[in-house]
Amino acid sequence: MIRREILGLYLDKEQIHYACAKKSFVSLSPKRLSLTLKSSGIVYGPAFSVLKDLLKGFSPHKNRHIYLALPRSRFFARDLQLPPMTMEDALISVRSSLSIYCHLPLEEIYYDIHLCRTLQGGINALIFYALRKEIDPYLDIFKDMGHQNSLKGIFPVSFGVGAWLHLEGYPMPLGLILNHDEINELAVYGKKSCLLSMAWPFSEGEKEGEFLIETAKSKFQDLKDNIFYLNNEKSPVLPRPLRNRMGKLPNITENLGVAALSPVLSGWQQISIDGSPTKIKTIRPIKIIIPSVLAMVLIISFITWRTNRIILFQEKKVNSLKTEIRQLQKRLKPIEQKREALRKAKKFMEDIDDFIKTRPRLFSRINDVARLGPEGTWFSSFRFEKGVITMSGESKDALKVVESLRTSGLFEQVKLRGSVSRRKTGEERFSLTIKLREETK
């Protein structure tokens, strides 16, 4: 299974929260960050110095993904509702109107757009943006430390908190009030996204907060009184989750680094306010491919096991049949030998019958050869097969022998076979073939 290390960082002015975990498709477990740092903790000190020291403590790795969460005060947010349309069209529509919704020049900001379809079929769009001069120092640190390829996202910590609430199974929609870095924030979350983020400074007091809470309730009718405070300073306080789905990782009230790594675990649309393009694809192919591959492997394994069982059974059956065949062959061998002897005897009898039938005709042909042959001709070999007589002999004139034999009406064809050789005494050695003429009945 594919394993990777995910590191969540939350950077405040005087401290950094970190949480590190090892993630595979089927499990999530804490992982020690380095020899001196545990899987999670808080390091105190000036923000940029602490971040540099932390990144210096471990070497870059291609399978490590780092997510950086920052206080909401570093960002601006605008929300808007769009009618039913495709996500692609919604993204194009929001991009074309950025100069209207963002109060800063576009060339001076980084932004990302978080899209989510509502129950009514429309689309809720939440724009997060920040000044480049606020984000670039963080990017420079990661670049200087050699971890720029590992940095996968920069976003407000409240976005990660919403993903954590989703992972822990809190009922949605849910409103949460966070206070950090001299500002308060009211964030509203749905099942698949952050729907709203509104902030106001501490100096504006509780009345401004009450006004924004009523505004959120009017926008999201299902929200009702499902609004909580993250810390214990005011009530109602966010209750602890009924069951811990994040394994041995700490609660976000203890370590906001867990909130930084939660979006990648929740399946929410990923955002990163660092100049990278908006990614609206919310379905992760790995969640489809890996189960499909696992199912295919299981099916193939079962088929292979069953096929091997069938093959083994058939092999035993074949071996048993081979044994039976060998036994039958041993029993049939004497019978086959007798059958072969009978066949040869039958053939011999047929040959004898043919010879007996052709014997009178053959003898008369032999007599004809002896009668027609010139004086001084004699034959040393004689063979008869399928109506053809083959003879070898000597005579004073081989051609005269052939010519004299051709005068017989019993012979259809007479011709020399091979070459003629002459002896010192003058006789010629030769071979000839005589084809007998068929007798008419």
**Residue range 72-85, pLDDT digits in tens:** 999 999 999 999 99
Residues 420 and 327 in one domain: no
Residue 228 lies in a domain: yes
Task: List CB contacts of 209: < 8 A, sequence separation 6 or more.
Answer: 177, 184, 186, 200
Residue 368 lies in a domain: no
Domain count for the chain: 3
Give the end of a domain, one of 214, 249, 282: 282
- pLDDT, tens only, 175-198: 999 987 788 899 999 988 899 999
Residues 196 and 303 in one domain: no
Residue 311 lies in a domain: yes
- pLDDT, tens only, 379-425: 888 888 878 889 898 988 888 888 888 888 778 888 888 888 888 88
Residue 285's pLDDT band (cuts 50, 70, 90): low
Q: Are 216 and 175 in contact (CB under 8 A)?
A: yes
Residue 312 lies in a domain: yes
Give the end of a domain, one of 266, 282, 298: 282
Residue 282's pLDDT band (cuts 50, 70, 90): very low
Residue 144's pLDDT band (cuts 50, 70, 90): very high
Residues 190 and 337 in one domain: no
Quick one: tokens of 295?
């199912």
- Enter the pTM of the model: 0.64
Residues 404 and 428 in one domain: yes
Distance CA 375, CA 340 (A): 49
Residues 403 and 355 in one domain: no
In terms of residue numbers, what domain contains 320?
A: 283-360
Residue 441 lies in a domain: no
Residues 324 and 217 in one domain: no
Residues 130 and 247 in one domain: yes
pLDDT attached to residue 357: 64
Of the listed ranges 44-48, 272-276, 360-364, 431-435, the least confidently predicted one is 360-364
Residue 157's pLDDT band (cuts 50, 70, 90): very high
Residues 335 and 380 in one domain: no
Residues 215 and 296 in one domain: no
Give the end of a domain, one of 360, 383, 414: 360
Strand partners, 204: none
Residues 81 and 210 in one domain: yes
Of the listed ranges 16-20, 171-175, 241-245, the least confidently predicted one is 241-245
Residues 270 and 337 in one domain: no
Residue 367 lies in a domain: no
Distance CA 197, CA 93 (A): 21
